[in-house]
Chains A and B, each alone.
Chain A
Amino acid sequence: MPTKREDASTHPLASTIKLVFHCLPQTASSKKMDSNSIGVLMTCPMSPPYLEQELDRRYRLLRFWKFPQKTELLKPHSQEIRAVVGNATIGANAELIDALPKLEIVSSYSVGLDKIDLAKCKDRGIKVTYTPDLITDDAADLGIALILAVLRKIRGCDLFVRRGPVWKNGDFQLTSKFTGKSVGIIGLGRIGTAIAKRAEAFDCPISYYSRSEKADTNYKYYPSVIDLASNCQILVVTCSLTPETRHIINREVIDALGPKGVLINIGRGPHVDEAELVSALVEGRLGGAGLDVFENEPEAPEELFGLDNVVLLPHVGSGTIETRTAMADLVLGNLEAHFLNKPLLTPVV
């Protein structure tokens, strides 16, 4: 279902990407470079197929998942692999980096970098690129979608109509209003700010927690997550995952949010103490939750499957055709720039 209008082409980075591609045609010099001999390792299947197809067309593509024994791939090919394309599921950890002596660049098909051993890359002088900004809108759209889905029980409504019990004229279950509810955001970065702007259109007062107060915003700042949770009705997790933010949502925070509160996690699974979250939901100590990420993806806690006040998604935060295509173009653009000794488009600083 393509759009009538090319959304990717209106993105701020789109013109940069297009410019890079215009500068990198099949010129005599690049033919001489014979990019088809450059070994690129793709860590796992990624959709849409466009990325894999392009990598295959331009480089000597090695698909990690086709080798059940990783050593089968690494032994014969480790000397040719100069680039790794990873994503939020499988990136480039220390073990993989160590096994690739000729690795020059890790171009991640993601904005999250927690699956890449950045310290090791720095040590080895390996460049790392990612795809920032492109997923901001999709992630923020999803955050609001989860809030509406949980509060208005849209999933439950849909299931009710499809599977019964039979909808009688008299059956109606009251759900919960979104307009005007207070929204607390953990992490007021690009995605957090985008969520705030959308929630404001629903007349929601916005508050936030962040490592430090932001000077250029009018939203109310709370110096601790517990304070934030005590003072909002909907708590949205959208910060990056670091050792400090692991389990930032713990029992105390969940208790502060309370039986009428709703937790939305579009960050990373480990942001939330999942065992505590599950027991709070099952016991009714937390009002509801919308979760796009889990501690052990692709496993999601089965104890939640029977609950009506929970929405569970398989990490689809940036899973739109438009955005993934734009991300793929950025991965390809970064690789191309690197192998032509041009400035990287989106290096991790």
Chain B
Amino acid sequence: MASIVLYLNNSAKDITFPLLEDRFQFLNPNTSSDSLFSSLAGTVRILLCVANSPVNSETLDKYPSLECVVGSTTGLNHIDLAECRRRGIRVTNAGDAFADDAADYAVGLLIETLRRISAADRFVRAGSWAVKGQFPLSYKVWGKRVGIAGMGSIGRRISKRLQAFGCSIAYNSRKPKANISFPFYASVQELASNVDILVVCCALTNETRHIINRDVMKALGKEGIIVNIGRGSLIDEKEMVKLLVKGEIGGAGLDVFENEPVVPRELHALDNVVLSPHRGGAVPESLLRLQEIMIANIEAFFANKPLLSEIELESLSWILS
């Protein structure tokens, strides 16, 4: 008999996981019949959380036998991790399913911003090349100093890629990482003072909210650029917009925003900003890998084996006991 997995999709995203549908029996509050649902709601032990569907106390109260939440994203700020820890519920995320794509995208946004690719493309399509002549000069990528805020699996991949562009790497993280030889800065502000480009790719927690604040951005300076592929709220967006409009930071490549899908209108007119609707992760090849990881987690759970991509709730400093 197929194992029963609670399938929760309260996001606006229309995603399916065909590989999982073959292997498990999904209990979906939106589609299962009332009788089936009420008979199983009390005993289902594992929940598949689709995209950024919220999982909070209210959710967990409905399913008192839950022991595990299987996330389908890298970031888990839509899941109340403190509550999960309190209830002894284990949580897994997408592991490294999207790490390469996120890193590729971060590098893409960085080069785009410096070399003004989208603006140059608009220039050609508007017919301006023949009329106005040469497109204005942009800025060199090779050899720039890059600061990575958050040296996790994505930060490491970004570092590897950017080193091939002659960039030097420095980083900030909660603590220095044992097997990383790049210079470590204890504060993001200090990091920003010493680099040309700041790449933000850490997890969003209570501690990291607005970690990129006005002081950090001023430290980065008029020539500096920011690339954010983490979460919008890692940056004080209102301040960033002010500084960009005034020309007090050099530019920005942004895949995420504080109040998606709202993007501050002031940014639309700026040529030194590249805007993206949170697409850093999703490519078809990676959805395959995501499903493999989720299947592995679910099967390990039912076999009482160690989970593949479990988040260590014990060690998270934002968990209040």
Residues of chain A at the chain B interface (Cβ within 8 Å): 1-5, 7, 10, 45, 47-48, 137-138, 141-142, 144-146, 148-149, 152-155, 157-162, 166-180, 197-198, 200-203, 297-300, 305, 311-314, 316, 319-324
Q: A179-B103, A316-B138, A320-B138 are in contact. List 18 more A-B contacts (CB 8 A).
A: A1-B272, A3-B140, A5-B196, A48-B137, A141-B140, A145-B108, A152-B283, A154-B109, A154-B274, A158-B275, A166-B261, A176-B285, A177-B104, A203-B100, A313-B124, A314-B134, A316-B116, A321-B139
Residues of A within 8 A of B118 (CB): 149, 154-155, 158-159
Residues of B within 8 A of A142 (CB): 115
Q: Is B101 an interface residue (CB 8 A)?
A: yes
Residues of B within 8 A of A174 (CB): 282-284, 287
Residues of A within 8 A of B143 (CB): 5, 7, 10, 137
Give the contact-size bracket for chain B.
35 or more
On whether A154 and B140 interact (CB within 8 A), knowing A169-B261, A175-B279, the answer reads: no
Query: Interface digits, B83-110 against A, CB 8 Å rule (1 contact, 0 not)?
Result: 0000000000000000011011101110
Check if B13 sits within 8 Å of A170, measured CB to CB.
yes
Q: Which of B58-66, B159-167, B295-303, B313-321 contacts A (4 or more CB under 8 A)?
A: B159-167
For the complex of A and B, 10 pairs with smallest distance between CB atoms: A148-B108, A201-B164, A170-B12, A137-B142, A169-B12, A179-B100, A167-B261, A161-B275, A298-B129, A320-B140
A298 CB to closest chain B CB, in angstroms?
Answer: 4
Check if A145 sits within 8 Å of B164, measured CB to CB.
no
A208 CB to closest chain B CB, in angstroms?
Answer: 17
Which B109-126 residues sit within 8 Å CB-CB of chain A? 109, 111-112, 115-118, 120-125
A109 CB to closest chain B CB, in angstroms?
Answer: 12
Check if A158 sits within 8 Å of B276, measured CB to CB.
yes
Chain B residue nearest to A320 in the complex (CB)? B140
Whole-angstrom CA separation of A4 from B261 in the bound complex: 34
On whether A168 and B137 interact (CB within 8 A), knowing A141-B111, A158-B275, the answer reads: no
Residues of B within 8 A of A7 (CB): 140, 142-144
Chain A residue nearest to B134 in the complex (CB)? A47
Q: Binding site of A, secondary structure by majority: helix, strand, loop or mixed?
A: loop
Residues of B within 8 A of A154 (CB): 105, 108-109, 112, 117-118, 274, 276
Check if A316 sits within 8 Å of B104, measured CB to CB.
no
Residues of A within 8 A of B13 (CB): 169-170, 172
Whole-angstrom CA separation of A108 from B225 in the bound complex: 33
Residues of A within 8 A of B1 (CB): none
Check if A169 sits within 8 Å of B124, measured CB to CB.
no
Whole-angstrom CA separation of A299 from B103 in the bound complex: 35
Chain A residue nearest to B255 in the complex (CB)? A157
Whole-angstrom CA separation of A142 from B135 in the bound complex: 15
Residues of A within 8 A of B286 (CB): 177
On whether A314 and B275 interact (CB within 8 A), knowing A148-B111, A149-B108, the answer reads: no
Q: Select one of A4, A138, A145, A198 contacting B223, CB under 8 A.
A: A4
Check if A4 sits within 8 Å of B163, measured CB to CB.
no
A-B contact pairs, 7 of them (CB 8 A): A3-B140, A149-B117, A166-B261, A172-B13, A178-B104, A201-B164, A299-B130
